[in-house]
Amino acid sequence: MGRTVGAEPFATLFNKLPLMDTVAAYRYANASWILAAVVLSALAIDGWRGSRRDKLTATLCAAFTLGALSLGSLWLALPTLKALFQNPMFAKKPAVGSVAIEWAAILVVLVALLIGRDAPERATDAQGGAHRLLRTARTRPHALLMGVVAMALTMGYFGYPTLANPRQAPVDTTAVHFLQAHSGFQRFVTLGPFAPNYGSYFDVASINVNDVPASQRWADYVQAHLDPYANPNLFLNLPSGPGIPSLADEVAARLPAYEAVGVKYVLTPPGAQPFTLVPASARPALVYQDATLWIYQTPTPAPLFSAVGDGCSIQTTSWTDASATCATPTTLVYRSLADAGWHASVNGHAASITQYDAVFQRIALPAGRSQVTFWYEPPHATLALLIASAALVALLGALLLALWLRRTQQPIAAARPAETPAPTSTQAPTQAQPPAR
C-alpha cells in the first residue's frame, strides 16, 4: 500500500525487488492488496465466535486500529484533500457521500457482529443453494446482514462515484480527423497532447510508447538516436530534471533522426514553439492549430517503403504492401520494427529479410516490376496451434470417456442381486446364522 501511494520508505524498499521499479503500482497494485484485505476480513468474520465480552473486546481493538489508521491516513492526505476541495471541477458531494456510505456500512457490520449469535445448524450440505441461504438467514442473521452491507459498500466504493460522473462528455476529434486524412503511411511524435497508445485506437501511427513489455530493439534505438534520456520502457514527454533536455528539445535538436523513422507530424500543446532555433530552411511548418493542440509538419519525412539509391519508383499501397519498378536490382527498405516473426515475398516468392539501421527491415529487389508483401506471424505459431489442437482433442476425449463410463456403470449397478433377506420367525435358527432381531 505504501508503494501504491508513493509513501517512503516503502516505495524505495519495494522498488528494490527485481523489475518492481518499472511497475505502475498506483494503477495495478490496488487489486492485490485489496484482495488480501478482503480474504483476511472474510476469514475473521467466518471465525467469529466467543462470548459477548470476547466479541466486544475484539471489536474495540479493531475499532481502535481502524480509527488510528484512518486518522493517520487523513493527516497524510490533508494537502491532497485541500487541493481537491479547492478545485471547482472536483465533485465534492459524491466524494463525501461515498465516504459516508462506507462508514455507515462499517458501523452496521460492527453492530451485526456484536448482536450475532450462531444457532445450531441442522441442515446438511447436500441441500441446494436456496436451503443454504435460508439456513444462513435463520441460524446466522448477522452474516446475512453483513452480505447486504457488503453490497452497500460496493455501491459506496464504485457505484455512487460512477453515477456521479457526467452523463455526456463531448470529445473533440477535429485534430484526430486531420491526422487520419493527412498522415498516410507515416507517423507522428507527441510532446503532450494525444497521449501515447491512442494512435492505435484512432488508426494513426505514433512512435511514442507507454506500455510494457517494450521492444528492447526499439528502446535501444530511441536512446541512441532519438532521446538518450528516455526511459527504456517508456517514450513520452515526461518531466525532466534540472539540466536534462526535454523531449521537445531532443526533437528540435535531432529533427533529421525523427524524419528518418518516418515522423511527418509533431504534436505540441497550444502555443508551443519548439523549433525557433532550427534553421528556417529545415524548420517544421505549423499546419494545424486549435485549443487542444498544434501540429507541425516536418520537411522531409522518410517514406514507409523506399529504395537504397536511385532508379526505382515505389508506390505504397498499404502498411504491408508496395509496388516497385526498378531499372536495376536494388534494396528495398521497410520502416517497420524488425522482429523474428516477419516474413516477406516478392512477386509471390519468399524473400530473405535482414536488418536495416539496427531497427528496420530490408529485402533485395530484382530489376523490373515487383509486388512486395510483408506479413507477421509470431514465432512457433504453427507449433502452438498444433499443441492447442491436441489439448482440445484430449479434453473432448476425456469428456466422452466420462460419459461412456457413466452410461455403462448404471446398468451394472441396476443388475446387482438384492441382499439375502433375514430369516423369518418361522425358520429355525442355525448355528451358522443367528436369529434375526
Mean pLDDT by 10 residues, the chain (437 residues): 84 88 82 84 71 75 82 84 81 77 75 62 53 61 68 69 71 93 96 89 92 87 93 81 87 95 96 92 94 95 93 94 95 94 95 94 96 94 94 96 86 57 52 51
Average pLDDT over the chain, rounded to whole? 83
pLDDT in tens, 159-198: 666 776 666 778 889 999 999 999 999 999 999 888 888 9
Cell reading at 351: 524473400
402's CB contacts (< 8 A; 6+ apart) are none
Give pLDDT, residue 102.
75
Give pLDDT, residue 422.
56
353's CB contacts (< 8 A; 6+ apart) are 338, 342, 343, 344, 361, 362, 363
Has this prediction a pTM greater than 0.85? no
Between the CA of residue 23 and those of 11, 131, 195, 212, what are the distances in Å?
A: 11, 46, 19, 9
Give pLDDT, residue 123.
47
Give pLDDT, residue 437.
47
Give pLDDT, residue 97.
78
